[in-house]
Structure 1
Amino acid sequence: MNCKKIWHEKLYCHFGQHFLIDELLYKKKTNYQEIMIFKNSFFGNIMVIDDVVQTTEKDEFIYHEMLTHIPVFSHGLIKNVLIIGGGDGGILREVCRHKTIENITMVEIDHEIIDICKKFFPNHSKNSYKDSRLKLIIDDGLNFTNKTKEKFDLIISDSTDPIKYGKNLFSSKFYLNCKNCLDKNGIFVAQNGVFFLQKKETFLTLKNLKKHFHDTSFYHATIPTYYGGIMMFAWGTNNIEYRKNTLKNLQSRIKNAKLAFNYYNAKIHISSFYLPEYIINELDKN
């Protein structure tokens, strides 16, 4: 399916980014979402869901490393992990790199997205779906967290934006469910969009998180694919000590894990919780 045309993202009504489609690789509407995958000469394969860019081959490592390793190394003793969403396999890949993690549960609403990404984004998952620690469940994240009796040290919500089925994963009910699924010192993290263009979503997340966690915050990373500034990640836990980790302590944990990264490191870890002044001012006002 060869073509040369411009694709425009439709996340924002006033403006947005565009990509040149060098080759259309896949397009289908599943029971839950419309998926399109195309090749771009700079970003490689790009996946779009409901007209919003989800991931690219070029810079996915930034997103997946930051959403995974910030909470893992903050905690220091993660054994049981729950991943909500993340059907492209990137978060699963990064979680599986930690050999001290004993159990990984992944809940994805759309099984087709997993099969599609194994084909078109094999380096996202890197065969992590074959990891013996993984229990894969096809279900809605809100429904699963509402009924499960399991407890986790870490919950990572790797969802789409809060539209359609993604809305459930930004609700106060979902955050309450996650708190109830966490062990006493567990951590919840989630992608939370680009603040400069999605302020309302950030305000709503903070309001809802504060209802259920003693320590709520955001950390950030700069990811070229996500247009409009820095990408925000939501943070919720009842242990106020995790964000007080020293540089020396984090460096020791990273060294003991014997892992190498393309973006994440101990200094990035600490600095990611320091937000720009315009964000601090907006959050204080709201």
Structure 2
Amino acid sequence: MAESAPLQGLSLIENGWFIEKNAQWPGQANALEVKEVLLHKKTKFQDLLVFASAKHGNVIVLDGVIQITERDEMSYQEMLAHLPMFSADKPTHVLIIGGGDGGVLREVVKHDTVEKVTWCEIDGDVVEAAKKYMPNVAVAVSNPKTELLVGDGVAFAESSKENSFDVIIVDSSDPVGPAEKLFSKEFYVNVHRILKPGGVVCSQGECLWLNEDLIDAMVTDYGACFASAEYASIQVPTYPSGQIGAFIARKAGTAGPASCRSPRREPPAGMPLRYYTAEMHAAAFALPAFLRKRLKAVEGSPEKRPRLSWQ
């Protein structure tokens, strides 16, 4: 039975519905019908809720915000993983920061070139919850190529050696609480340092309808030390406004164009994909006029990096 009374803490269930209300997106809310609450606890870092929904399968919620539903998770997981993986040249060593549900990891290990995945997730309770309640998402957690480190991704980036990774994927929650330090110029200076020449970073880039200033900062400030820095759009119906972005940037030092707008190779015929295609890769970089104008207007001086590919 669904909870009939509100849960205590940040996660709210009323009259059998989970209601996502948050100061980060004032004046709007999202709701999913709940069949059964599977888990609700305070971890060391955040409020963790897992419930079985009426139409979207199992759902993981952190600090009152939906992170993943079984129905639409493939759009986010596949795009956040394959945009950088197919933009990189035969990536062998990949770093994933965050992504406690294991979905991005599942997608990364589909690439035959990958020899090792270093996965740094701050909250081990999220990993355990995903293994129990979303096994099809967390299917690669025990993959022999994977090294799971439960710890702070910011500190890990600071301590890692220069030129260590071909691809870095930052699958973070919103820029409050445990993920706040992942949205800073200092973090991306370290990301740039530990990427190999020509390497690619791709991060959860927030919503273009709600976070225009942050997207501006990511592309123009955080991306200033990279050869290219761009924003791609992903459709996720259960996220605020039905949209989320990927901030993607390439370190200088590779042959070919710096932009990540076009994949460098096609997905193999046998790769199991439900959302990502080469066409979806290219289409993700088609932005609405207001955001395109904003990013073009504040691009900054030409010595910061090459001009964005639409200019």
> Is the TM value for this pair above 0.5?
yes
Alpha-carbon distance in 2 for matches of 1:2, 1:63: 27
Is 1:198 aligned to residue 211 of structure 2?
yes
Equivalent residue number for residue 146 of structure 1: 158
Query: Could you tell me which of 92, 95, 119 is aligned with 1:79?
Result: 92
Structure 1 unaligned regions, length at least 5? none
Contact 1:108–1:138, Cα closer than 8 Å, also in 2: yes
Structure 2 unaligned regions, length at least 5? 4-14, 299-311
- Using the aligned pairs only, state the percent identity: 32
Equivalent residue number for residue 114 of structure 1: 127
Say what the alpha-carbon RMSD is for the aligned residues. Answer: 1.8
3-state SS of 2:206 partner: strand
Matches within 5 A, 1:158-237: 158-237=171-250
Alpha-carbon distance in 1 for matches of 2:64, 2:118: 28
Equivalent residue number for residue 130 of structure 1: 142
Alpha-carbon distance in 2 for matches of 1:212, 1:278: 25
3-state SS of 1:117 partner: helix
Equivalent residue number for residue 271 of structure 1: 283
Deviation at 1:260, TM superposition (A): 3.1
Deviation at 1:13, TM superposition (A): 2.5
3-state SS of 1:250 partner: coil
| Mean Cα deviation higher: 214-223 or 52-61 | 214-223
3-state SS of 2:136 partner: helix
Q: Which has the higher helix share?
A: 1
Contact 1:216–1:235, Cα closer than 8 Å, also in 2: yes
Deviation at 1:131, TM superposition (A): 1.3
Alpha-carbon distance in 1 for matches of 2:76, 2:260: 23
Which whole-Å deviations, capped at 9, do the CAs of 1:143-174 have from their partners, x for residues lacking one? 00001126000000000000011111111111
Is 1:93 aligned to residue 106 of structure 2?
yes
Structure-2-length-normalised TM-score: 0.85
Alpha-carbon distance in 2 for matches of 1:154, 1:188: 6
Alpha-carbon distance in 2 for matches of 1:65, 1:15: 27
Is 1:9 aligned to residue 20 of structure 2?
yes
3-state SS of 2:105 partner: helix
3-state SS of 1:196 partner: coil
Structure-1-length-normalised TM-score: 0.92
